[in-house]
Amino acid sequence: MNQITNEVSNAVRILRETVPLVHNITNYVTVNDCANALLAIGASPIMADDIAEAADISAISSALVLNIGTLNQRTIASMLAAGKKANELGIPVVFDPVGAGASKLRNDATREILKQVKITVLRGNISEVSFVAGLNVSTKGVDASEADGGNDAVAIAKAVAEQLGCTAAITGAVDVISDGKRVIKIHNGHPMLSKVTGTGCMTSALVGAYAGALRDGLTASVAGVVSMGIAGELAYEAAGQTGTGSFHIAVINALGRLDSELMEKRAKLDEA
């Protein structure tokens, strides 16, 4: 077993022992999925996006997850308030710039969050993270564009990690995660994950749970992303032939089963 596999196997145990409270200001399309994914992995979710309490909830949480999937002016203010409070108290912040590159509102919000909030982890697809890196992108709504698929994910992840002083996690057919020094590639997952809404949002929430338990952005990112990848594989084995609805539920079931032994057995991780 290599070093990073050992680290993420221990991470599952630590998360379930500590039960971190994870504050999510997230996408209302997938908020229920994110809450259930967090419960399944052993964390405690709280979804509070009103400006009157966003900072207060962050102050009592183990981690904060900001997701701009269904963006509006009201939640931008809440994200900034929650992020600043998390920074003040040393609480890790995970940022998912959903659809960055697709509209002026998303682009401006992404830039403003990154300007005002020190993030621990940036988790997105190749188009979203390429936008943060300052590259021209052809984002396809909230999904990665095939035109951006040729971008060098390793180089972009390292560049963004160094630029922002964070861990950058680029998810795709092969996931690439870097803190600017180490580079981890993850080969888990199943194509059916892309046919169910919310799997990216759930992945960011899972990264938040591990970040709250570990306070280590790189290990948290690898653990969160590989947890969803393994869950997708197990879900396909259990229910993939039935259809996407059954597969969706099976993903949550698989996250509930995930432990150190399963992580050790199924994680497909390479460290460059």
* Calpha distance 9→76 (Å, rounded): 35
Going 55 to 34 to 97 to 228, the CA torsion angle's sign is positive
Binding residues for substrate: 47, 198
The tokens for 214 are 């570990």
Sorted by sequence, the CB contacts under 8 Å of residue 52 that are 6+ apart come out as none
SS3 letters for the chain? CCHHHHHHHHHHHHHHHHCCEEEEECCCCCHHHHHHHHHHHCCEEEECCCCCCHHHHHHCCCEEEEECCCCCHHHHHHHHHHHHHHHHHCCCEEEECCCCCCCHHHHHHHHHHHHHCCCCEEEECHHHHHHHCCCCCCCECCECCHHHCCCCHHHHHHHHHHHHCCEEEECCCCEEEECCCCEEEECCCCHHHHHCCCHHHHHHHHHHHHHHHHCCHHHHHHHHHHHHHHHHHHHHHHHCCCCHHHHHHHHHHHHHHCCHHHHHHHCCEEEC
Quick one: which of 188, 198, 186 has its CA closest to 272? 186
- As annotated, the binding site for ATP includes 123, 171
Residues at the binding site are: 47, 123, 171, 198
**Amino acid (one-letter) located at 167:** T
